[in-house]
Amino acid sequence: MLKGRAFAPQFASSRHRDETAELGMWVFIATEVLLFGGLLLGYFVYRHANPLAFAEASRHTDIVIGAANTAILLTSSFLVACAVDALRANARSASVALLAGAIVLGASFLGLKGIEYADEYREHLIPGIDFVFDGALANGVQLFFVFYFVSTAIHGVHMLIGIGVLATLALLVHKSGSTRRRAALHSAALYWHFVDVVWIFLFALIYLPGRSGG
For residues 81 and 152, give the distance between their C-alpha atoms in angstroms, rounded to a whole number: 24
Is 81:189 a contact under the CB 8 Å cutoff?
Answer: yes
DSSP state of 11: -
- Binding of residue 132 to another protein (CB under 8 A): no
Reduced to 3 states (helix: H, G, I; strand: E, B; else coil), residue 131 is strand
**146 touches another protein (CB under 8 A):** yes
**Is residue 124 within the footprint of another protein (CB under 8 A)?**
no
Query: Does 139 participate in binding another protein (rule CB under 8 A)?
Result: yes
Closest separation in Å from C-beta 155 to another protein:
12
We find the least distance from the C-beta atom of residue 32 to another protein, in angstroms, to be 7
Segment holding 126, helix H or strand E: strand 125-126
Q: Name the β-bridge partners of 125.
A: 131
How many amino acids of this chain bind another protein (CB under 8 A)? 39
Of 39 and 63, which CB lies nearer to another protein in the complex structure?
39
Taking alpha carbons only, the member of 72, 142, 133, 162 closest to residue 108 is 72
Q: Residue type at 135? A: G
Q: Does 136 bind another protein (CB under 8 A)?
A: no
Residues of span 34-73 touching another protein by CB under 8 A: 34-39, 41-42, 45-46, 49-50
* Identity of the residue, 33 or 204, whose beta carbon is nearer to another protein in the bound complex: 33
Through-space distance between the first and last CA atoms of the chain, rounded to whole angstroms? 73
Whichever of 27 and 132 has its CB closer to another protein, that residue is 27
Contact 84, 185 (CB under 8 A): yes
Under the criterion CB under 8 A, does residue 31 sit at the interface with another protein?
yes
Closest CB to another protein among 9 and 214? 9
Q: Provide the 8-state DSSP code for 62.
A: -
Q: How open is the CA angle 191-169-65, to the nearest 5 degrees?
A: 55
Of residues 54 and 192, the one with the C-beta less far from another protein: 54
Residues within the interface to another protein (CB under 8 A): 1-2, 8-12, 16, 19-20, 23-24, 27-28, 30-32, 34-39, 41-42, 45-46, 49-50, 127-129, 139-140, 142-143, 146, 150, 154
